[in-house]
């Protein structure tokens, strides 16, 4: 059975290490991939790299809503165009950032059995590939963002709470 692993957060030195290539394929890798997918889905993420659960290996899972993609030892073989958009990361809570990425890419990786697969991606999916592959180099979106985007949710909740306090104060008058 797959398990939900703990996601480490910005500030943890494990996120900054360069991940090692996977050389052994087998049961342990498959269990790890299952746990990573489980952890990603439980966190409503669209991608997760092994360093984010404290394992410094070149392993990534992605699901942009069109199905699970597992990448072992991925490399970007081609990158074209440039597009800027807001990104979030499960290891960087409540903060987003605008990041310039290649618009379309070709990625070569191995699957869970070690077979070489080639992926062509563009737009949002290409962005996820690049974000996750960055994790394997110890790079986070906060290092390369051009603008910080604060999550507006906590502020909104705070305003609502404040309004409630004001309402109660008025009721007491
Ligand atoms: Co991330």
Per-domain residue ranges of the chain: 13-172
Distance 7 CA to ligand 1 centre (A): 10
Distance 52 CA to ligand 1 centre (A): 8
Distance 49 CA to ligand 1 centre (A): 7
How much is the average pLDDT of 126-130? 98
Task: Tell me the pLDDT band of 168, cut-offs 50, 70 and 90.
Answer: low
Is the confidence at residue 166, as pLDDT, over 80?
A: no
Quote the pLDDT of residue 94: 87
Quote the pLDDT of residue 150: 87
Of 132, 160, 168, 173, the catalytic one is 132
Distance 98 CA to ligand 1 centre (A): 13
Q: Which stretch of DSSP H or E encloses residue 172?
A: helix 153-172
61 contacts 42 by C-beta, under 8 angstroms: no
Distance CA 132, CA 116 (A): 18
Where does 13-172 sit in CATH, by number? Answer: 3.90.45.10
- pLDDT tens digits for range 37-95: 999 999 999 999 999 999 999 999 999 999 999 999 999 999 999 999 999 999 999 89
How much is the average pLDDT of 128-155? 90
80 contacts 103 by C-beta, under 8 angstroms: yes
Task: Confirm whether 94 is a catalytic residue.
Answer: no
| pLDDT mean across residues, the chain | 91
Distance CA 10, CA 93 (A): 8
Sequence-ordered alpha helix ranges (H) in 20-152: 27-42, 123-136, 141-144
Share of the chain above pLDDT 90, in %: 85
């Amino acid at each position: 059975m797959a398990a939900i692993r703990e996601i480490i957060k910005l500030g943890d030195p494990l996120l900054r290490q360069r991940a090692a290539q996977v050389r052994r394929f087998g049961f342990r890798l498959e269990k790890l991939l299952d746990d990573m997918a489980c952890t990603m889905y439980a966190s409503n993420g669209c991608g997760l790299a092994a360093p984010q659960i404290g394992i410094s290996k070149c392993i990534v899972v992605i699901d942009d809503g069109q199905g699970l993609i597992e990448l072992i030892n991925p490399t970007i073989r081609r990158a074209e165009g440039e597009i800027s958009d807001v990104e979030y990361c499960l290891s960087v809570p409540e903060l987003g950032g605008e990041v310039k990425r290649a618009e379309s890419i070709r990625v070569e990786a191995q699957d869970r059995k070690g077979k070489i697969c080639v992926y062509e991606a563009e737009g949002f999916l290409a962005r996820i590939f690049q974000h996750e592959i960055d994790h394997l180099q110890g790079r986070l979106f906060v290092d390369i963002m051009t603008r910080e985007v604060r999550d507006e949710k906590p502020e909104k909740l705070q305003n609502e709470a404040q309004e409630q306090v004001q309402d109660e104060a008025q009721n007491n008058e």
